[in-house]
Amino acid sequence: MKKLLYGLIGLVVVLVAAVLIVPALIDWNGYKDEIAAEVRAATGRELVIDGDISVSLLPSPHASVSGVRFANVEGASEPDMLRLEEASADIAFWPLLSGEVRVESVTLLNPVITLETTEDGAASWVMQPDTAPASAPAGDGGGFDMRLEDVRIRGGQVRYLEAGTEVAALEGLDAQLSAESLAGPFAANGSATLNGLPFRFDAGIGALADQPQIGRAHV
């Protein structure tokens, strides 16, 4: 009886160790094409990952990706709507077992976002999905409750152009954001320079179905 008990305990230990260690041994770069295909299906745009993708569960769930480029709308003067040097995320382990993705922290390093309207009136932020992503049927949120507890942006830049002419530029963006869910409520604070004028901000926005809360900006 003892041998059977010890054997079962040993089997459980091996299985748990495999679940925790195997993700670190997988070459996640081999999934770049699949990730790009999902993004293309959902947005109609191309996503390119020039750097590496890594995922690990020890000592806590962690994922990172570097060298990300997301295509702009056709006809835009800038080819990329988003360029990102690196993104990393730490995820709470135990909530995953109940179907909740609780992102404890996300860091975005040197993101560059270019928002543009073209001469024919197309806008970079308006996207046309090719098809519903294969992993989630249309109209289905996938069954996950996602919470963003701590999102940090370092060295961010946001440009707004009209027909190739720059109208506004937000530079040196250092910010901290959080969201109770993908539908809000949201909170943000940080500092940046808008068209050469430095300012600080501290704002909150209610759930998307609610009225926004009052925000504060300091120049």
> For residue 99, what pLDDT is reported?
67
Sketch the domain layout of the chain as residue ranges: 2-135+142-218
> For residue 60, what pLDDT is reported?
76
Give me 61's structure tokens.
């769930």
Where in the chain does DSSP place strands (E)?
47-49, 53-56, 62-71, 80-91, 100-109, 112-117, 145-162, 165-179, 186-194, 197-205, 216-218
- Is the Cβ–Cβ distance between 82 and 60 less than 8 Å? no
Give me 143's structure tokens.
């069954």
Per-residue pLDDT of the chain (219 residues; tens, 9 = 90+): 544 444 444 444 434 444 444 455 567 888 899 989 988 998 899 999 999 988 887 777 888 999 999 999 999 999 999 999 999 988 887 776 776 767 788 999 999 999 999 999 899 999 888 765 444 444 444 444 567 778 999 999 999 999 889 999 999 999 998 888 767 788 999 999 999 999 999 988 877 665 444 445 444
Contacts of 1 (CB under 8 A, 6+ apart): none
> For residue 170, what pLDDT is reported?
94
Cis peptide before 198 (omega within 30 of 0): no
> For residue 199, what pLDDT is reported?
93
Cα separation of 45 and 79, whole Å?
11
> For residue 128, what pLDDT is reported?
84
